[in-house]
Amino acid sequence: ETGVTQSPTHLIKTRGQQVTLRCSSQSGHNTVSWYQQALGQGPQFIFQYYREEENGRGNFPPRFSGLQFPNYSSELNVNALELDDSALYLCASSLGRTTEAFFGQGTRLTVV
Amino acid sequence: GIQVEQSPPDLILQEGANSTLRCNFSDSVNNLQWFHQNPWGQLINLFYIPSGTKQNGRLSATTVATERYSLLYISSSQTTDSGVYFCAVGSNYQLIWGAGTKLIIKP
């Protein structure tokens, strides 16, 4: 059974650019959630995908968007990057929308 | 929205000591998880415990849902226990996180 994997692990982008982060869910899981964790803080919910549909969204602007594919893997896209987008981005998968979540190792994004 | 408070914010202990971490939450929840975040950022699942008591080796956890709190016990601490411990509660489809307890175990 493979766990949750994210790519890339580290990324440096310039302000104004666009970025795509990827997540492969754990085998058998149909739900993927994305979180942003700023340094020294707890993670903040960005959105959740359940069976390829956005199931809920946190307090993030529309330039944060996502996709879930038929194999339940997912992408997080961020347009018009700002310096404050620098953070650890965490992907979690679960079997269902409210059950135990398992996290990938994260993607550390630095915007310069 | 639901508020999650963790205490203490920081804890420094000698190897071999025991500790209790607390998580208070402000409303009914359908999910509660404890995580250990290592220095590289990986969140490691410790317990999925919406209610009741569970034990896993030197770690145990208790959630009293009616009183809206959960406790994480670490016994006979080891230096590898160092890191940040998060409590996260489920509200509908999202996890709401506390600010974490930073635990440092000195040899």
Could you read off the pLDDT of B8-20 as tens digits, one per residue? 999 999 999 999 9
Residues 6+ apart with CB under 8 A from A80: A16, A18, A63
Quote the domain boundaries for residue B20: 4-106
A100·B33 Cβ contact <8 A: yes
Q: What pLDDT was estimated at residue A31?
A: 95
Q: What is the mean pLDDT of chain B?
A: 96
Q: In CATH, what number is assigned to the domain containing residue B69?
A: 2.60.40.10
* Cβ <8 Å between A100 and B43: no
Residues of B in contact with A56 (CB under 8 A): 92-94
- Do the bridges between strand B10-14 and strand B4-7 make them parallel or antiparallel, or are there none, so unpaired? unpaired
pLDDT of residue B93: 86
Task: Render pLDDT for B67-99 as a digit per residue (tens, 0 to 9).
Answer: 999 999 999 999 999 999 999 999 888 999 999
A58 burial type by CB count under 10 A (0-12 exposed, 13-18 middle, 19+ buried): middle
Region for residue A55 given its phi and psi (left: phi exceeds 0; alpha: psi -120 to 50; beta: otherwise): alpha
The DSSP output letter for B27 is S
The answer to whether residues A100 and A34 touch, using CB atoms and an 8 Å cutoff, is no
Instruction: Say what percent of chain A tops pLDDT 90.
Output: 91
> How many structural domains is chain B composed of?
1
Residue A32 has pLDDT above 80, yes or no: yes
CB A72 within 8 A of CB A55: no
Tell me whether A87 touches chain B (CB under 8 Å): no
> Are A76 and A20 spatial neighbours (Cβ–Cβ below 8 Å)?
yes
Q: Is the pLDDT of residue A2 over 80?
A: no
Kindly report, residue by residue over A56-70, the tens digit of the pLDDT.
999 999 999 999 999
Please name the member of B88, B93, B99 whose beta carbon is closest to the beta carbon of A41. B99
Whether pLDDT at A1 is above 80:
no
User: Strands A87-94 and A107-111: what pairing?
Assistant: antiparallel
CA distance B11 to B7: 9
The tens digit of pLDDT for each residue in A11-29 reads 999 999 999 999 999 988 9
Q: Please, what is the Cα angle at B96 between B29 and B7, to 5 degrees?
A: 90
Which A-chain residues 11-70 have CB contacts (< 8 A) with chain B? 33, 35, 37, 41-45, 48, 50, 55-56, 58
Q: What is the bridge-based pairing of β-strands A87-94 and A102-103?
A: antiparallel
Query: In chain B, what percentage of residues exceed pLDDT 90?
Result: 92
Residue A85 burial by Cβ neighbours in a 10 Å radius (0-12, 13-18, 19+) = buried
Structure tokens at B30: 């359908």
Read off the amino acid at residue B71: L
Cβ of B41 within 8 Å of Cβ of A106? The answer is: yes
pLDDT at A107 over 70: yes
Closest CB from A42, A56, A90 relative to B99: A42
CB-based contact (8 Å) between B92 and chain A?
yes
Q: Residue B13's pLDDT is what?
A: 96
Residue A64: the pLDDT is: 98
pLDDT of residue B30: 86
Q: Quote the CA–CA distance of A79 and A20 in Å, as a whole number.
A: 9
